[in-house]
């Protein structure tokens, strides 16, 4: 009996290795498993067009590129977070050591991504309780496994390092914003105050500093627009696990509200 994994593409891409023997071209072999027959048929179409047998043509025509699994969608979502302008902006403000720790966490905590709560806390200097708290408030992007445990990728490490640098009153402000029932209202008010102060400062800054500030504000506006368009449309495809996280956040807030 031929095993399902008993066919490989040759390194020169001109044939296959089947049952340990090199074969020229991409023949249809009846004793191969259906999975391997499909593999070889696809290679024939891609690497030796015109060489396919009728059986191989039928196999390839019935084959569709797989839709992304929930796990892949989760990964695409995590990547999307990593590319957000504000996460990029936070990254640029990390020190070299912190950036190195984000890229290669195993050098600091002996573990690659995804990191659990304990490892993210060890990596960034937050306490485990703080990691749980900030992730419940939605500031540390994460996903939940089947047992409900949080897992964090690079975007969360960048945000967590940034939170470590903030003063206690600042963290309190972010916490209140995260827990707010009307976060857009609160953010708008805070931004108005910040912008008022910025306009006052602009006259005293040099041209480069002013330009950087304008870029930051423009980036924030772009980010909001993306949230409504590209990012929002992708959100419709986000995996159930992310929706679970969002529900758990709401549940957490409700529980806290009940506790008074």
Partner 1 sequence: MSASPWPESDEDSPLYHYCSERAARDVMDDELPVFYSGPRSNFGWGVYATDIEPTDGESWEQVSIDCFGGEATQAELSWCFVLHRGDAQEAFVQVNASEWMIERLAPNEGVEADTLVIEVRRWDGQGWEVVAEWDGSEWVPQNDVP
* Interface residues toward partner 1, by CB under 8 A: 5, 7-11, 13, 16-17, 39, 42-43, 45-49, 65-69, 71-73, 75-76, 78-80, 82-83, 85, 88, 91-92, 99-100, 102-104, 106-107, 110-114, 153-155, 158, 226, 230-231, 233-234, 237
In a 13 Å sphere around the CA of 131, the CA atoms on its Cβ side amount to 25
Alpha helix positions (H), 18-153: 34-47, 54-61, 70-83, 85-92, 96-103, 106-109, 117-124, 128-136
Q: Which residue has the tokens 């330009």?
A: 211
Whichever of 27 and 187 has its CB closer to partner 1, that residue is: 27
Question: Would you say 46 or 118 has its CB closer to partner 1?
Answer: 46
Q: How far apart are CA 78 and CA 158, in angstroms?
A: 12
Q: Tell me the closest approach of the beta carbon of residue 40 to partner 1, in angstroms.
A: 11
The least distance separating partner 1 from the CB of residue 243, rounded to whole angstroms, comes to 17
Give the H or E element holding residue 219: helix 207-228
Place of tokens 């930051």: 216
- b (16+ CB within 10 A) / e for 95-112: eeebbebbeebeebbeee
Minimal distance, residue 175 CB to partner 1, in Å: 25
Nearer to partner 1, 74 or 133 (CB): 74
Smallest gap, in angstroms, from Cβ of residue 8 to partner 1?
Answer: 4
- Residue pair 249/137 in contact by the 8 Å Cβ criterion: yes
CB-wise, 175 or 213, nearer to partner 1? Answer: 213
Beta carbon nearer to partner 1, 145 or 230 = 230
- Cβ-proximal residues to 144 (8 Å cutoff; 6+ apart), any chain: 150, 151, 241, 244, 245, 248
Q: Hey, what's the torsion of the CAs at 71, 73, 79, 82, to 10 degrees?
A: -100
Q: Which is nearer to partner 1, 79 or 212 (CB)?
A: 79
Q: What is the DSSP annotation of 74-89?
A: HHHHHHHHHHSHHHHH
Shortest approach of partner 1 to residue 34 CB, angstroms? Answer: 14
Smallest gap, in angstroms, from Cβ of residue 24 to partner 1? 15
């Amino acid at each position: 009996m031929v095993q399902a994994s008993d066919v490989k593409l040759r390194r020169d891409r001109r044939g296959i290795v089947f049952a340990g023997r090199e074969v020229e071209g991409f023949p249809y072999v009846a004793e191969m498993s259906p999975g391997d027959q499909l593999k070889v048929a696809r290679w024939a179409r891609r690497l030796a067009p015109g060489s396919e047998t009728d059986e191989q043509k039928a196999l390839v025509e019935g084959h569709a590129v797989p839709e992304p699994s929930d796990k892949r969608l989760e990964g695409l979502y995590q990547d999307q977070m990593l590319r957000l302008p504000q996460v990029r902006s936070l990254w640029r403000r990390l020190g070299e050591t912190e950036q190195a720790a984000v890229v290669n966490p195993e050098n600091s905590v002996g573990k690659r991504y995804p990191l659990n709560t304990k490892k993210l806390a060890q990596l960034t200097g937050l306490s485990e309780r703080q990691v749980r708290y900030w992730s419940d408030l939605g500031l540390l992007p994460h996903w939940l496994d089947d047992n409900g445990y949080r897992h964090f990728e690079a975007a969360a490490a960048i945000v967590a390092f940034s939170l470590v640098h903030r003063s206690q009153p600042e963290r309190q402000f972010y916490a209140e914003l995260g827990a707010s029932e009307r976060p857009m209202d609160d953010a708008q008010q805070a931004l108005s105050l910040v912008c008022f102060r910025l306009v006052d400062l602009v006259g005293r800054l040099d041209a480069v500093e002013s330009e950087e500030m304008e870029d930051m504000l423009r980036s924030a506006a772009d980010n909001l627009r993306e949230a409504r368009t590209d990012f929002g449309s992708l959100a419709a495809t986000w995996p159930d696990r992310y929706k679970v996280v969002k529900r758990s956040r709401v549940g957490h807030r409700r529980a806290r509200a009940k506790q008074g």
